[in-house]
Structure 1
Amino acid sequence: MKNLSISLILEQNKLSTRIGQADATIFRLDGEVNKLTVTELVEKKERNELIEDLKAELLQLNKSVERKCDDKVNALQNMFEESTTVNLAGCKDLKTQISVQIKNLSMSFISEQNKLSVRMDQADAKIVRLEGGVNTLAGFSRAIEWLKTRTEKCCIDCGDPTPDHGTVNTTATTYGTVV
């Protein structure tokens, strides 16, 4: 029994050693778990801080982009308003120019009408004179006879009198022929 007791004590010592080693391992692992937990918490905190920093940066970037967009929209609006003002001024100038040209054209038209009226009056006066001259047709007959005698003595050929767009009522082409 003494051997058994020694054997038991030895086994007990071995188990105690193993339990001590297991406790040390547990303690070490517990420390590592604590470290990991702390590291995880720190990483989580750092990650959250990083996320918060990124959110803040994004908000700043958005504000900056919004400002730039607003500035560009305002600049485009100003350019549009300026070009519209310039175009409206150009339209007013064009309207004025057209009005002046229409006025000038109207005055030119009236002037041409007046010229035509004067020519019509002159033509009417000529008609009246010609009507008076018809009475003196006998004088014309004598003049024609005189021309005939003058042309009969002449033998100059004047060539074909036919115009580009028209006809002639004679075949004679000597000087003095009435066509």
Structure 2
Amino acid sequence: MTDLRRPDEDRLSNAADKGPANRRLFSVMAVIGWLVMSYGVYGLMINAAQTHPASWLLWFLGGIVVHDFLIAPVVVGVGVLVSRAVPDDFRGPVQGALVAGGIVALTALPYVLGFGRSSSNPSALPNNYATALLTLLLFIAAGAAGLVALRRRRQSAQGGP
């Protein structure tokens, strides 16, 4: 039977299967994770008057829907475009910058939109978060551009394309 996996896939699959020690570690970490999540749900329920479990459940399920039907398709689409438009040698820095920029933008979005800003409390959200976000995104883009330039320079020094 022909093995259709690429060499890099072989390395990844072999790295994940290191025998019983790896399975034991996974099992221990899974139990710890379930215990932490159970403690969180317990706290949510025992403090129901303050935590409003129904609202939390709606927020939690809404996050799943937004991820699965908005964020994931956009990420996959951008990934396909990058894989077609960016040469293999430069794809890593570009993808890294896109991932970092996306995380930063999603994290900053509530601040940029002013959620929590109040005219009665000017010290709440006192900064220009849109400018800060754009500045950070420019730094991320500059870092990626620097890595691409460094790789190009190394290729030309080695006589590559």
Question: TM-score by structure 2 length?
Answer: 0.24
TM-score w.r.t. structure 1 length? 0.22
Q: Which has the higher relative contact order, 1 or 2, with Cα contacts under 8 A spaced 6 or more apart? A: 2
Query: Rg larger in 1 or in 2?
Result: 1
